Chain A
Amino acid sequence: MKFCPAPTPRLRYWRNSTLHNRKTSRRNVISRAFTRSETYLFIILFVLVAVVSIISPRFFTARNALQILRTSAFTGILSIGFLFVLIQGGLDISFTATATVAQYLMALALVSKGNVPILVVLLIPIAVGMLLGSVNAVLIHRLKAPSIIVAIANLNIYYGVLQIISGGTWIYNFPDWFDRVGKGFVFAFVDENGATFGLSYLTLIWIAVAIVAVVVLRYTKLGRHLFALGGNIEAARRSGLSLFRLRLFAYSFLGLLAGLAGIVQALDTQTVAPNALVGREFDVVAAVVLGGANIFGGAGSVGGTLLGVLLITVITNALTLLRIPAYWHQVFIGAVVLASISVTSLRALLARRKERIIDVR
């Protein structure tokens, strides 16, 4: 039995050690753009929006667009947290359980008669999320087990414990201010029916998280260290990076965002149920994978992730508008995810096949 860090990309067995990519040609900007999955994703999203708009005129309206942005906020916030974990070379699907625990504790505080200050109410889920996230980090770092298995364990512990605490009860009847924030928006529009709508606060939270994420990943040492760790763990160790601190950051950042997403989801639905988020992790995984992040770590972008989230929500939204029964939605999501990961893997496979390395004289 060997308990070493997960193997480097498996199944590269056709790649002989002498067959290295020796292409040296400098690519121009356009062809560089076409090596990025964001470009493809954007084109697919564009085509999809165009097609659905033609079929269903209700789709391409400001109102629907803003609605899509509002409903995406929950998945969107979690996706950014998941992206961080993926970039540093891990995998964690216990974040919906974290979000549920966090939002449930918040809801308990909200409806308690003790008049808990608003700030404390909002800090509870964030703190709980960070705590549970760091538990994941500690276990994965110390025990060197595949992170997916640790995640499966934690997922069940969190849900199980929550069931014990909650007894399965739903919580609603939140204070008025909580409802107002959930329905609040900026940039008010008035449509022909006289209804007002605008850019939801929930979307604003998502956008703020995305901006922070871009800054961290692109412009801070911490962000670059995360990429480095995901790219070559041994080199990261030799350069004196603290693997534990980086992992702790990534997983507790995901936990923090899970707490935040828990707040956002509670604001959106105004109810908190111990099992409401079960299964939602797949939307997140789907979005991030669609967004072009590398499952083995070291690559991924906030832009791609945002596009991935939008693509998933647009597909679901379009299916609803096209009156396809809700039972079929999951089939579409599953098929899209499988197609996208297959195309990614296939492209890598073909690129390796084509490698010709010797300049034969």
Chain B
Amino acid sequence: MREERSMGESRVHRSVMDSFIDFRNVSKFYPGVRALNNVDFAFEKGEIHCLVGENGSGKSTMIKIISGVIQPEPGATMVINGTRITAMHAKDAIDRGVRVIYQDLSLFPNLTVKENIAFGLYGDTRGPFVNWKAVEDRAVSAMRSIALELDLDRLVSSLSIAQQQLVEIAGSIIGDIKLLILDEPTASLTRVEVDRLFATIRTLKERGIATLFVSHKLNEIFEIAERVTVFRDGAKIGVFEPKELDQKKLVFLMTGQEVVSEPPKPVRSGAPELLRVEKLSRGGNYKDISFSVRAGEILGITGRLGSGRTELALSLFGMNPPESGSIFISGKRVRVHSNAAATRAGIAYVPENRLTQGLIMPQSILANITITILEKVIGAFRLLDHSRSESLSREWIERLSIKMPSLDAAVQTLSGGNQQKVVLSKWLATNPRILILDEPTVGIDVFAKDSVHRFVKQLAERGDIAIVLISDEVHEVLDNCHRILVMDRGRVLDEVLPGSDAEATLLEKFNLA
């Protein structure tokens, strides 16, 4: 067994003895696809290791193999903690101290904190009855070990996402745990909460627990990772120390190509102001927000989760009415009570969650593009004119170069990037004067991201539309906006112009990641 291991050459295995996970020649094929193709993957005991890659790069397949959810093709060598494993199922992984925390968490919202933490106890103890004393003891000790303080009897449904995540971590580090896999754990956390999570990960490291951290937020990777493995197209590109990398290089490694971003063309002088917001307030959401956007201008709004950015956008879109203040479109004051009214007033909003808010996944591409303009494609006898809606849809598909099998295909068959373009089409079809984009490139790969950005900039160049781009990714607003508003806890703190020192300002002064 030992010989077999030394045969495989790898410069990153500093010491074979210290490896916790040491997988060689791992492949996974699906009909027509090679999700993983002869990949070696390893990291050490107690290491904080990051796994990065685009969608479809094979990183989630690897996680599933490590956690025993799926089995690799024959021929793989899998060594966990020095023992060679021939076939591994979910239970074997758990027995070897591997725990996974999925992005959507595995908690029971209707049960209390203590029961969620100690849920595994039911499987560990004998007899049909629950020992409530043991449940409480276990919950208390688990919470203590990561310095978490919560009312044991609170229902999990009443906790914030960050608290829920910590409850799940507390629940999974019980027993003889060696590896914690976190799948995109920071996606919906505020900065403070991310700090708290990272502190917890470091605490676990002190106890000798390794963390495999999967993320697409590159700056967070630099902050927490000891080493980074990059996957691309089902193959391993390499293992790196964070200090060898920077943002640009990492993107290059992930995509295999350099993405050059050009700043947007300057706004034409004398371009009219299309949107003005004055002293807009809504209790518990945001306060005294004032700004304006001119035709052809892209205004960035950045801020952490919980800064009120999405709530503000929803107010402009009529779905979260402001309590005071006023909104002007082309100098005329408007009241938007509903999003239908906002659409009529020329406002369009691309929501942050494509899957649940942006698209009707099982329905056709045609249906999704025309949903906003059904009233406009009414023809003879006040009936829908199918040929007109079809030609309109084709027009947008061409303009945004959406790759699709047919107009009748369900949107869920498209890739993330093409799906996002369908969302853009459906709103651009309404001919908006103001386009609000809320996190328009979350969860889509770098190329699709770039093509969305290019399209948005082209759109602005036309000079008849004002664009508001909301993002918590600093580089997205820096590269694509004319001006940037920084929001925090419901207030606009400052306005920043992209430029040489803008990045430093955003990162340091406002502590944005």
Contacts and interface: CB of A to CB of B under 8 A. Distances in A.
Nearest to B161: A20
Contact of B110 (A231, A240, A358): A231
Contacts of B314: 16
Given A219-B129, A235-B108, A358 B353 contact: no
A19 B309 CA distance: 12
A231 B161 contact: no
B439 to A, nearest CB: 10
A225 B306 CA distance: 34
A18 B188 contact: yes
Given A231-B108, A234-B106, A235-B106, A360 B283 contact: yes
B130 A299 contact: no
Given A22-B160, A26-B151, A219-B129, A238 B284 contact: no
A334 B353 CA distance: 40
Given A18-B188, A356-B285, A361 B115 contact: no
Interface in A10-28: 14, 16-23, 26
A221 B128 contact: yes
Given A17-B188, A228-B119, A240-B123, A358 B489 contact: yes
A5 B175 CA distance: 33
Nearest to A12: B356
Interface in B341-363: 352-353, 356-357, 362
Nearest to B132: A219
A17 B151 contact: no
Contacts of B102: 238
Interface string A219-242: 111111101101110111011100
A298 interface: yes
Contacts of B307: 358
B119 A239 contact: yes
A192 interface: no
A2 B362 contact: yes
A23 B352 CA distance: 24
A232 B106 contact: yes
A358 B285 contact: yes
Interface residues of A, number: 39
Given A221-B128, A358-B308, A230 B110 contact: yes
Contacts of A235: 105-108
A220 B130 contact: yes
- The prevalent SS among residues of A at the interface is loop
Interface in B108-148: 108-111, 115, 119-120, 122-123, 128-130, 132
- The prevalent SS among residues of B at the interface is loop
A328 to B, nearest CB: 38
A17 B158 contact: no
A298 B284 contact: no
B128 A222 contact: yes
A358 B130 contact: no
A294 B305 CA distance: 31
B130 A227 contact: no
A232 B310 contact: no
Interface string A341-361: 000000000000001111111
Contacts of B308: 358, 360
A232 B285 CA distance: 30
A333 to B, nearest CB: 28
Question: Interface size class for chain B?
Answer: 35 or more
B151 A358 contact: no
Contacts of A239: 106, 119-120, 123
Given A20-B161, A356-B283, A240 B129 contact: no
B91 interface: yes
Interface string B375-395: 000000000000000000000
Contacts of B157: 21
A360 B161 contact: no
A16 B129 CA distance: 39
B512 interface: no
Contact of B284 (A17, A20, A357): A357
A359 B129 CA distance: 43
A298 B488 contact: no
A89 to B, nearest CB: 10
Contact of A221 (B130, B160, B356, B490): B130
A21 B284 CA distance: 12
Given A20-B160, A224-B115, A224-B130, A359 B106 contact: no
Interface string B220-264: 000000000000000000000000000000000000000000000
B287 interface: yes
B310 A16 contact: yes
A340 B129 CA distance: 34
A230 B128 CA distance: 20
A231 B109 contact: yes
Contact of A232 (B107, B120, B158, B353): B107
B491 interface: yes
Contacts of B283: 356, 360
A356 B286 CA distance: 10
B263 to A, nearest CB: 29
Contacts of B488: 361
A266 to B, nearest CB: 32
B90 interface: yes
A238 B93 CA distance: 13
Interface in B276-295: 283-287
Nearest to A1: B362
A231 B155 CA distance: 11
Contact of B109 (A19, A298, A361): A298
Contacts of B319: 14
Contacts of A357: 284-285, 306
Among A19, A219, A235, A299: residue with most chain B CB under 10 A: A235
Contact of B489 (A223, A231, A359): A359
B362 A227 contact: no
Given A17-B353, A21-B158, A361-B489, A356 B284 contact: yes
Contacts of B161: 20
A272 to B, nearest CB: 35
B132 to A, nearest CB: 8
B22 interface: no
B84 to A, nearest CB: 24
B108 A225 contact: no
A228 B90 CA distance: 20
Given A234-B104, A356-B284, A18 B306 contact: yes
Given A26-B151, A234-B104, A235-B106, A358 B306 contact: yes
5 contacts: A221-B129, A234-B106, A235-B108, A358-B284, A360-B308
Given A16-B314, A17-B188, A239-B123, 19 more contacts: A14-B319, A17-B353, A21-B158, A21-B160, A221-B129, A224-B111, A230-B110, A231-B110, A232-B108, A235-B105, A238-B106, A239-B119, A239-B120, A357-B306, A358-B311, A358-B490, A360-B283, A360-B308, A361-B488
List the 5 shortest-distance A-B pairs measured between CB atoms, nearest first.
Answer: A356-B284, A360-B490, A298-B110, A231-B110, A235-B106
Interface of A: 2, 14, 16-23, 26, 219-225, 227-228, 230-232, 234-236, 238-240, 294, 298-299, 355-361
